[in-house]
Amino acid sequence: MQNNPAQNAPEIILPMERLDQVLFNLDTSYIKDTLLDRNTRYPFISEVLLKQMLAIDSVNSETGLLSFLHAYRPVYNAVQKLNAPATAHPQLQILFKNLHYYFPAYELPKKIIYFIGPLDGFGNSLGSDYMAVGLQMFLGDTSSWYQSEQFQKYFPPYISRNFTPNFIPITAAKNFLQDIAPNSRLTRGLIIEMIELGKRQYILKKVLPETNVADLFGYSAAQYAATMNAEQDIWNYLLKMNFVYSKDPKVTSQLLNEGPFSIYFGNDIPGNVGVFIGYQIVKSWMTQQSDEDQSNLIALLQMPAEKIFAESKYKP
């Protein structure tokens, strides 16, 4: 089968708005008039950044924005030095192209907005006709902005290690998949939840075919290698402990939620190792399907997890 059947699909050219540069280059001597002009041209500034993210009302918009610009000037300088959009934007265009190929009925955003928001804010958001990327969340895993005790309360190191520019398209792809097919994570049993998450990992690899697999899982390279090597032992342990069909929320959370290590399999294995097992089951099932069916990701999302498991013949 062709590794990427979407590679010959029409290219998608995405306009970008660098609102980080627009905001931090405002003429603050005439902040009221300048802000009014920018709000008219870029409604994201007033409707999302000021109101929703910074909780600044219209009465105090000038004062509040000036305070934010002063406090976050060093973050802006770090963003400009790194220039993440230079590498991320071409990858986002590939992502959009592949998403349109596999999900042609899904209405993709018309543009990408790059901005700088609060450090406890979000890195990716979908709007009415745009996708917004918060560049403050992709400064690199060693960024000094991620080392404070306050920041690590929200984003511990095993999370912030993925706050690098190459995770911009990965974060975007995950957000799109949640929008295309919301996953409520209902307690349906461990095997069902693993496979449902495994479907998404399989789709991530399809829409970002050149991306490192470890990154798609959010694992370090060492964690991914250790998990691959221990796959048979992990599966045998799940069978031995009767975890496969468990509906115990504690068990499912300990195997599916992100964590620095696995309480069952030691420090070398990531906390959400169950997602990897789910992916391997889905991958095993998909290799048995026709080339056409392997490209039908809509059908994959709709396929009952029970059927996938029964027919997968998964045996690591």
Residue 192 to residue 244: CA distance in whole angstroms = 9
Is residue 163 predicted with pLDDT exceeding 70? yes
> What global pTM score does this model have?
0.93
Residue 7 to residue 97: CA distance in whole angstroms = 8
Q: Is there a contact between 284 and 314 (Cβ–Cβ < 8 Å)?
A: yes
| Per-residue model confidence (pLDDT) at position 1 | 42
The residues spanned by each domain of the chain are: 15-179, 190-312
| Per-residue model confidence (pLDDT) at position 64 | 84
Local structure of residue 130 (DSSP, 8 states): E
Over pLDDT 90: what percentage of the chain? 78
Residue 297 to residue 154: CA distance in whole angstroms = 34
The continuous run of DSSP H or E covering 133 comes out as strand 130-134
Q: Which two tokens stand for residue 313?
A: 């013949």
pLDDT tens digits, 245-271: 999 999 999 999 999 999 999 999 999
pLDDT tens digits, 192-237: 999 999 999 999 999 999 999 999 999 999 999 999 999 999 999 9
Residue 262 to residue 272: CA distance in whole angstroms = 7
Residue 75 to residue 81: CA distance in whole angstroms = 10
| Per-residue model confidence (pLDDT) at position 54 | 86
Chain position carrying tokens 């706050």:
163
Which of these, 162, 106, 154, 110, lies nearest to 132 by C-alpha position?
A: 110
